[in-house]
Chains A and B, each alone.
Chain A
Amino acid sequence: MDRTLLILGVELRQAFRAGSSADGKSSRAKRIARNIMGYAVLLTIAVFMGRGAYNIAANLSEELAACPNVVRTVWVNLMSGLSLGIFIMFFMTGVSVVYQTLYESGDLKFLLSTPTPAGSVVAAKLIVALVRNLMAIVPFMYPVWVGYGAGSGAPVSFYIMSLLAIVFAALLFTAVVAIFVMLVMRIIPTQKMRQIIMIGSLAVGFAFVVVFQVFNAKMARSNGLDTAQLAQAAQGWGLGNTWYLPHVWVVKTALLTTSEFGFSFAESLLPLAVTAVGAFASVIGLSTKAFLAGWSAAREVEKGRKKPNGRRRRRALLRIGRKVAGDDLAEGVSPALSDTMIRRHVSQGWGIFAKDLTILMRQPVIWYSVLVALVASGFYIYNMSYGMRSGDVGSMVGLMKDIVLFVLVMMSTISSSQMAGMCISMDGESLWAIRSMPIEPGTYYNSKMALAMLPGSAVFTVLALAMTFVSDLPQYPLYVSLPVGYAAISMLGSIGLMFDAIKPNFTIRMSGAGGPKRDASKALISMGVSLVGTFLLGVAFAFKGYYSSFSILAGIDRQVATCISVIAFTAIVVAGHVVARSIAIGNIKRMLRGESN
């Protein structure tokens, strides 16, 4: 226990000192300013989400004041959805955090070489993973619960219990994933197989959670929002039938002290706490048998082909000189080396892009993210297609097309901005190789820009095609939606890239199954700017659909309005690119020359 606390103390100190440099006060001031900016964005998002939840809760309570049972039913259902949302968010972000913290931490080699028991090390690392998972989710989830509580007049204890429920949910998820990862790492013999099983299983787990939610949503839709039916449903709530599901425990724990719901300790906090703490204890117990062997296995790298080792050194030695430089090396003497995408074209930009792509394709977490993105997108298209029919939109067809298009852009931008935000950082400790080469900043920027756009464009293409063939919602034809989407994604990607150029984080590791460590403040600012950018682009492009609502603009001809839409959209895209490129290249230039040291 003492050693676990000691390790945690060191982790805490490192976390506080992260990002500080030896340069003294000015950089510290900058860091504080950046953090304040990040927290301000975070607070804004939290207030925005909390306010939305408050409004829904307040309206619901007011409108259905006469039917308290109905209100309670709706609340429980909504909170159940939120609780499930917590687990979905954990699946999307938490798995890589657990793996990375347990198997990729830089200090593990040192810690395991000391007489510290493996259990103490694992306990400390698991708590670090728990805190990271909590920090990723609490700013987005807790404000909704707080807003909900405030809007419905919940007792003060509700806020404490709901936070406690989220903490236990995070502990349960972290511990269960840790057990799973430890077993896979210990039992499965090859690295590739381990990755396949881990990624496949987790993606199936995620799909299961989402499918369960789709089923619930479909049931809710089939019931409709008829007050009488809801009241009838309130007699039995249905939650008792799924008493074994963790997200139900979370809801019941949050509402444990809210008297009108009448949930008991035995059906809420008790199973949640016992399961979470039990899972945590199981991880510690398992660590003595499984962790060390699994950790060693995690460091294995797939072996290449073994060839008979000819002692060629001396023969080759005299060919090193500049004049002979391999010219006389007989063809076919050396083993044939694999063709590589990097060498397909001899150009610097292609070289950097292909190198980054090769590295990314070998990241198991990337494939997990792709699987999760596909499942989430399928879920989204299902909901959007069945939630609203083309007949429902009536005279709003034009605006509906714009909304559909920009919702797709927004979804695609999430993956693109994540990639853009780490494009430069992913060069990490190998940056010396880039800096010592004769590369122009513009070339470096262009290749990173291509990489930044890639995931967003791919996701957008899949979504746009799926929406076209699956949904009967009003949509633009592909020859309009694809170029508009790519233009928007490229601009938003360039902004993400600009942020990474301003503040790269070269301490990220892109190895094993561990995903990159994210810089919280940078990621939040980047995400905030991306969302605002998507909104602005959407507003500009949709101008032709809503201009007539303003009396001052009502006289404008429809074709003129369409021209204004296109020009405004294009202007924002071009301006965004110009500004982002200019700032990014300036920073890249300083980085390559070492001015930022």
Chain B
Amino acid sequence: MITTYDLTKRFGDMLAVDSLDLSVGAGEIFGFLGPNGAGKTTSINMMIGILTPTGGRVELAEIDVAKDPTKAKSITGYVPDQPNLYEKLTAWEFLMFVANLHKVEKGRAEKKAKNLLEMFELIDRADEQLGGYSHGMRQKVVIASALLHEPKILFMDEPTVGLDPASARLVKDILRELASEGVTVFMSTHILEIAERMCDRVGIIQKGRLLAVGNMDDLRQAAAAKGAMKHPEASTLEDLFIELTGGSDYAEVSRYLEG
């Protein structure tokens, strides 16, 4: 469903994404992990067609994003890392705006939007302007807008940041249900617990390069191959992440601080 071929992005002299080759199947939940500035958001932006790659290409459901970005965008939903919204629109107006841009039939869009607003417990405040919403509430509106047109592929950049525990749980439930219906979910996250429990596979990126990709067993093997871990078979994703991204120095400091 998502395939990248040698995807590369340079900003001036800085190599943000270096020859990324990835393939994510239909109905799969894929976790994209990496330290700050690793190239996660840049990769997602290229995949959804809002950033032109320096090299390589992206296919979404066999649609070349560079050649037909409009068609590619019509089957994707996107949740950005920052829920910046039109502050003078109400949540209801924003959802109707998004429905218009996706050409969702009027009656269906209204039912779907009401359903989503109810689900996120925003229905009673749907007529308020978004300028008065908290970060978490905006995040919910953005997630609702990404689901409104029933996308085949959902890209989510840190989707649970700012959400209260109940809403974060709700998002997880939604993602599982969508995946069970064949929707592909590609999400970046810093919360390794979410990635470990929810994702079918994860990819770890650092300095623009994909270090490892696969399920937990694959990652353990990759860490074992580096030879630094004593018991890779018992390691958590956090251990593997720190090992693979070279964060062991920080782990030492952390252990020292914890006494």
Taking Cβ atoms with an 8 Å cutoff, the residues of A that contact B are: 22-24, 300-309, 311-313, 315-323, 325-327, 329, 334-335, 337-338, 340, 342-343, 346-348, 350-352, 354-355, 358-359, 362-363, 428-430, 432-440, 510-512, 592-595, 597
Rounded to whole angstroms, the CA-CA distance of A518 and B76 in the bound complex is 35
Known A320-B178, A321-B181, A511-B87: A304·B103 in contact at CB below 8 Å: no
Given contacts A309-B121, A594-B52, contact A355 B112 (CB under 8 A): no
**B residues less than 8 Å from A350 (CB atoms):** 100
Contacts of A342 in B (CB 8 A): 93, 96-97, 100
How far in angstroms is the closest Cβ of chain A from B49?
A: 6
Q: B128, A302: Cβ atoms under 8 Å? A: yes
Q: A337 contacts B129, CB within 8 Å?
A: no
Most buried by A among B45, B50, B76, B99: B50
Set B76, B84, B89, B112: member contacting A432, Cβ < 8 A: B84
Residue of A nearest to B9 (CB): A597
Contact A436 B78 (CB under 8 A): yes
Look across to chain A and name the residue whose beta carbon is closest to the beta carbon of B115: A326
Give the CA-CA distance A122 to B80 in the complex, in Å.
Answer: 35
Known: A355-B86, A359-B89. A432 touches B78 (CB 8 A): yes
The answer to whether B112 and A436 have CB atoms under 8 Å apart is no
Q: How many residues of B contact A (CB 8 A)?
A: 74
Q: Which residue of B lies closest to A300 (CB)?
A: B132
Main secondary structure of the interface of B (DSSP, over half): helix
Bound Cα distance from A323 to B96, whole angstroms: 20
| A301 CB contacts on chain B under 8 angstroms | 128-129, 131-132
Given A348-B101, A433-B145, 7 further pairs, Cβ under 8 A: A327-B111, A342-B96, A343-B110, A358-B88, A430-B84, A433-B85, A512-B131
Within the assembled complex, what's the spacing in Å between the Cα atoms of A432 and B142? 11
Shortest C-beta distance, B138 to chain A (Å), equals: 11
Selected from B12, B103, B109, the residue in CB contact (under 8 A) with A22 is B12
Contact check: which of B49, B98, B115 meets A329 at CB < 8 Å?
B115
Neighbour of A355 across the interface among B73, B89, B117, B173, CB < 8 A: B89
Give chain B residues whose Cβ lies under 8 Å from the Cβ of A337: 92, 110, 114, 126-127
Known: A304-B125, A312-B118, A438-B73. A317 touches B87 (CB 8 A): no
| B11 interface hit (Cβ, 8 Å) | yes
Give 22 CB contacts A-B under 8 Å: A23-B12, A304-B125, A308-B124, A312-B123, A313-B119, A313-B120, A316-B119, A320-B116, A320-B177, A321-B181, A335-B124, A338-B90, A343-B110, A346-B106, A433-B145, A436-B48, A436-B49, A437-B101, A438-B72, A439-B70, A592-B50, A597-B11
Q: How far is the CA of A259 from the CA of B238 in the complex (A)?
A: 83
Across the A-B interface, the 9 shortest Cβ-Cβ residue pairs: A301-B132, A351-B100, A304-B127, A594-B51, A326-B111, A429-B84, A438-B74, A326-B115, A326-B112
Interface flag for B252 (CB, 8 Å): no
Q: Closest CB of chain A to B5's CB: distance in Å?
A: 18
Question: Whole-angstrom distance between the alpha carbons of A363 and B87 in the complex?
Answer: 11
Inter-chain contact B103/A348, CB cutoff 8 Å: yes
Q: How far is the CA of A23 from the CA of B11 in the complex (A)?
A: 7
Residue of B nearest to A307 (CB): B124
